[in-house]
Copies of this chain bind each other. A is one copy, B any other.
């Protein structure tokens, strides 16, 4: 049974191995692949972010953060980031978390959700976000340094929440 709920900073011990495994590949996230545990904690459990986790039989198998994409006059647009334990991919956890995040964002009063850097070669994510209602609203040329492929484009994706 899976369940998605708010995660606490105390759960970082369980979340960190997922974070580390996801960024180590250097193909989806703009964090340094060799980021340290403390720096990663600060990035994920940021004061402006709400952290959620997906639990499978009580163990954390994925996590996401929800936050305003910009302060002040841009704070009505949400941003979210998702990480799934690489061992648990293909089970619909990314889809479940994204669907959850859209509902949470709407509930929190956000008017839209924006992803700032979807790596263009990450076809699985791109296809999923499109299925879930996101559109590409910008292409950032060579904005991502892919660990295997070198500089590749990144996409900005967006959807309104009402």
Q: Which residues of A contact B (CB under 8 A)?
A: 23, 26, 29-33, 35, 43, 69-77, 111-112, 114, 116-117, 137-147, 151, 154, 156, 158, 160
Contact = CB atoms under 8 A, between A and B. Distances in A.
A134 to B, nearest CB: 12
A112 B138 contact: no
A39 to B, nearest CB: 9
29 contacts: A29-B72, A30-B70, A30-B71, A30-B72, A30-B73, A30-B74, A30-B75, A31-B71, A32-B72, A33-B72, A33-B73, A35-B72, A69-B143, A70-B143, A74-B117, A74-B143, A74-B144, A77-B140, A112-B141, A112-B142, A116-B116, A137-B138, A137-B140, A137-B141, A138-B138, A140-B156, A141-B158, A141-B160, A156-B156
Given A26-B73, A30-B71, A156-B156, A143 B117 contact: no
Q: How many copies does the complex hold?
A: 2
A154 B117 contact: no
A51 to B, nearest CB: 18
B117 A70 contact: yes
Across chains A and B, which 8 residue pairs bring their CB atoms closest together, nearest first?
A138-B138, A30-B74, A32-B72, A30-B70, A73-B145, A31-B72, A30-B73, A138-B156
